[in-house]
Chain A
Amino acid sequence: MARMKFLCDAERCIECNGCVTACKNEHEVPWGVNRRRVVTLDDGKPGEKSISVACMHCTDAPCQAVCPVDCFNTTDDGIVLHDKSLCIGCGYCFYACPFGAPQFPQQSSFGARGKMDKCTFCAGGPDEADLSDAEYEKYGRNRIAEGKLPLCAEMCSTRALIAGDGDEIADIYRERILRRGGRPQTWGWETAYPEG
């Protein structure tokens, strides 16, 4: 059984925002919702670094722990999915999430935020049949069911963003460090995957 993780190699990311665009296009996410974003540290200064960040599909995810309606579910592959038919848009997952992953569509009447939307690791949603139209409407494409990895990582031109089984992507990263030298920086892993 795989344990799906994201890893962003800060030495490779060039802030092209291709992952952001690919995600928006693939899942037809609503205006104002960004499942993935690129953050540049020390922008314009020597030592500038960029990181692509989305839901990290945490072990013991804080969103899952705090959700008042218990709408989150971690799949056997370690992907954190949420059930939009249960979500009440209370925003508590956004309070708790360290990565700012939960997104809310525009406000509707009576002060509701609308159903939460976040990165699904391209794995659709838990409450609709795999690859159905209803699932695509609600959660976007289910590439995992098609046997593919998340599109953001698949199309990353510098291969900075890698997605897949945690052990395998850690091996890829380790090999890179061996070749190029320097210190490893598995950004966000300490927070998202404290078990290592």
Chain B
Amino acid sequence: MQTPNDSLHIPVQDPVRKKMSPARKRRITTYSLLAILGLAVLLPLASYSIHWLGHEAVAQEAGSVVNPRSNTWRAVNGGIGGYTAVKGQETDVLIAPGGIDWLVKREATIGKYAPWAIVVMAVILLLYHLLHGRNKLDAPRSGRRIKRWNWFDRLVHWVTAISFIALAITGVSMLIGRAVLIPLLGKAGFAMWAQASTTIHHVLGPLFTVGIVLMIVMWIWHNFPNATDIQWFKEGGGLFSKTHPSAGRMNGGEKVWFWVVTMAGLAVCVTGLILVAPAYGIPIPAWASFIPLVEGARPQMQQAHMIHAVVSIGWTAIALGHIYIGTAGTEGAFEGMSTGYVSTEWAKQHHDQWYAKAEADGKVIEPAGSRRRARRAEAQAHSTAS
């Protein structure tokens, strides 16, 4: 008996088959592989031919087997409503599914991570201050001054600044108070603070909006970027060097801050006004539909709320930088916004081009004492002459 295995050992000579050349073998192998690859890609797409050939017929057939009643309930789960005798907003909707998404985003993402931006910024500024120290004036003050901000500039700045701080504290309280403040104050204590927070937020918000709009209108003229600013940024704003890059009335950093205030301010104020409207008994304005990218009062409010929270927290973090630079970070900067005047030493150091122009225009104010001294010297000269 011959087993099938034995046949392997017998050399079989196919009389018909000729010896194949290696070149032909390679050609056949290559084309076969290419054909297999091509088919492997194309064959699974063959079902599209059904789509091209008889799409409508197939769709109709599928539609006819769906229970129309189950479609009704599916639509209800997706937020479709009906008729109701109860008057009010969205009373005709049975299930509004977006709320859970909003809740998860607010609690699990925004509330959990966003406030850390403020903490991280505070730590960075603290480290900078400890490692680098205050940016001091290079020369002692001579008493010569230049007017930088008029009374209205300062009024608008401080009304907006103080309301910004109040709004930031009350706003963050609302977002993370349950996690952070309830353990400290207790539920009843925090409820009182939260009630105060919402009231403060609702009252100061519209006032703050007025301040932001005035700031944009008043100061946009100083803040268009130019070539000096590019050089200013190339030199890192002098943050980490001993030199002071050249700057006009506003340096590159101040201009960036201005545009942050403009962009974040508009986003936060517009979403804020949408959010606060119902609390003042005003229906959500029609223009709200242009801003938060979604239709319907509820998704609009949810969207507005999330934009408001994220942008305002990022803005608060950046504002810490502005507050630091304007107070502890730079000697001689704070008096510009508090008294309206800056020393020429500060101006020369931080805004050399602006200083040069002020000097040329004769806008430098000599110290009062020196003027008196000059007058006295003049009077003396007169008396000795006579």
The A73-129 residues at the B interface (CB cut-off 8 A) are 85-91, 95-100, 107, 110-113
A31-39, A132-140, A147-155, A166-174 - interface stretch: A31-39
Interface assignment of B84: CB less than 8 Å from any CB of chain A: yes
**Contact (Cβ within 8 A) A112 B72:** no
Cβ contacts under 8 Å, B97 to chain A = 98, 191
**Contact (Cβ within 8 A) B83 A183:** no
Q: Please pick, from B85, B90, B278, the residue contacting A38 in the complex, using a CB distance under 8 A.
A: B85
**Contact (Cβ within 8 A) A66 B103:** yes
**Contact (Cβ within 8 A) B91 A107:** no
Q: Hey, what's the 0/1 contact readout for B64-78 against A, CB within 8 Å counting as 1?
A: 000111101100110
Q: A37-B91, A185-B73 are in contact. Are A98 and B178 (CB under 8 A)?
A: no
Interface assignment of B57: CB less than 8 Å from any CB of chain A: no
**Contact (Cβ within 8 A) A41 B198:** no
Cβ contacts under 8 Å, B83 to chain A = 39-40, 43
Q: How far is the CA of A69 from the CA of B179 in the complex (A)?
A: 10
**Contact (Cβ within 8 A) A51 B94:** yes
**Contact (Cβ within 8 A) B178 A68:** yes
Cβ contacts under 8 Å, A53 to chain B = 94
Q: Please pick, from A70, A96, A99, A191, the residue contacting B103 in the complex, using a CB distance under 8 A.
A: A96
Interface assignment of A181: CB less than 8 Å from any CB of chain B: no
Q: A67-B178, A68-B194, A112-B198 are in contact. Are A34 and B99 (CB under 8 A)?
A: no
**Contact (Cβ within 8 A) B77 A190:** yes
**Contact (Cβ within 8 A) B188 A85:** yes
Q: Hey, what's the 0/1 contact readout for A40-51 against B, CB within 8 Å counting as 1?
A: 111100010101
Interface assignment of B82: CB less than 8 Å from any CB of chain A: yes
**Contact (Cβ within 8 A) B99 A62:** yes
**Contact (Cβ within 8 A) B305 A95:** yes
**Which residue on chain A has the smallest CB distance to residue B182?**
A70
B219 smallest CB distance to A (angstroms):
30
**Contact (Cβ within 8 A) A41 B72:** yes
A45 smallest CB distance to B (angstroms):
10
Q: How far is the CA of A32 from the CA of B97 in the complex (A)?
A: 24
Q: A88-B191, A112-B279 are in contact. Are A43 and B95 (CB under 8 A)?
A: no
B81 smallest CB distance to A (angstroms):
6
**Contact (Cβ within 8 A) B76 A41:** yes
User: What does DSSP make chain B's interface, helix, strand, loop or mixed?
Assistant: helix
B233 smallest CB distance to A (angstroms):
41
Q: A69-B187, A69-B190, A70-B178 are in contact. Are A113 and B95 (CB under 8 A)?
A: no
Q: A39-B84, A65-B107 are in contact. Are A88 and B77 (CB under 8 A)?
A: no
A11 smallest CB distance to B (angstroms):
10
**Contact (Cβ within 8 A) B100 A39:** no
Interface assignment of B348: CB less than 8 Å from any CB of chain A: no
Cβ contacts under 8 Å, A113 to chain B = 278-279
**Contact (Cβ within 8 A) A95 B82:** no
Q: Please pick, from B88, B178, B298, the residue contacting A34 in the complex, using a CB distance under 8 A.
A: B88
Q: Please pick, from A20, A70, A110, the residue contacting B199 in the complex, using a CB distance under 8 A.
A: A110
Q: How far is the CA of A188 from the CA of B77 in the complex (A)?
A: 8
**Contact (Cβ within 8 A) B195 A88:** yes
Q: How far is the CA of A87 from the CA of B191 in the complex (A)?
A: 7
Interface assignment of A59: CB less than 8 Å from any CB of chain B: no
**Contact (Cβ within 8 A) B82 A41:** yes
The A142-196 residues at the B interface (CB cut-off 8 A) are 183, 185, 187-188, 190-191
Q: How far is the CA of A3 from the CA of B1 in the complex (A)?
A: 80
Cβ contacts under 8 Å, B174 to chain A = 68, 90
**Contact (Cβ within 8 A) A187 B76:** yes
Q: How far is the CA of A65 from the CA of B102 in the complex (A)?
A: 12
A90 smallest CB distance to B (angstroms):
6
**Contact (Cβ within 8 A) B72 A107:** no
Q: How far is the CA of A38 from the CA of B93 in the complex (A)?
A: 10
A42 smallest CB distance to B (angstroms):
7
Interface assignment of B255: CB less than 8 Å from any CB of chain A: no
Cβ contacts under 8 Å, B72 to chain A = 41-42, 47, 49
The A49-64 residues at the B interface (CB cut-off 8 A) are 49, 51, 53, 62
**Which residue on chain B has the smallest CB distance to residue A67?**
B178
Cβ contacts under 8 Å, B190 to chain A = 69
Q: How far is the CA of A70 from the CA of B178 in the complex (A)?
A: 7
**Contact (Cβ within 8 A) A34 B91:** yes
Interface assignment of A71: CB less than 8 Å from any CB of chain B: yes
**Which residue on chain B has the smallest CB distance to residue A20?**
B86
Interface assignment of B235: CB less than 8 Å from any CB of chain A: no
Cβ contacts under 8 Å, B85 to chain A = 17, 20, 37-38
Cβ contacts under 8 Å, B82 to chain A = 39-43
Q: How far is the CA of A85 from the CA of B82 in the complex (A)?
A: 35
Cβ contacts under 8 Å, B70 to chain A = 183
Which 3 A/B pairs are nearest by Cβ-Cβ distance?
Answer: A111-B279, A37-B86, A43-B83
**A34-B88, A38-B85, A99-B95 are known contacts; what are 4 more A-B pairs with Cβ within 8 Å?**
A88-B198, A95-B103, A97-B96, A191-B95
**A residues near B, CB below 8 A?**
17, 20, 32, 34, 37-43, 47, 49, 51, 53, 62, 65-71, 85-91, 95-100, 107, 110-113, 183, 185, 187-188, 190-191
CB-defined A-B contacts under 8 Å, sample of 16: A34-B91, A39-B82, A39-B92, A39-B93, A42-B82, A47-B68, A51-B94, A66-B107, A88-B195, A98-B95, A110-B199, A110-B202, A110-B203, A111-B203, A113-B278, A188-B94
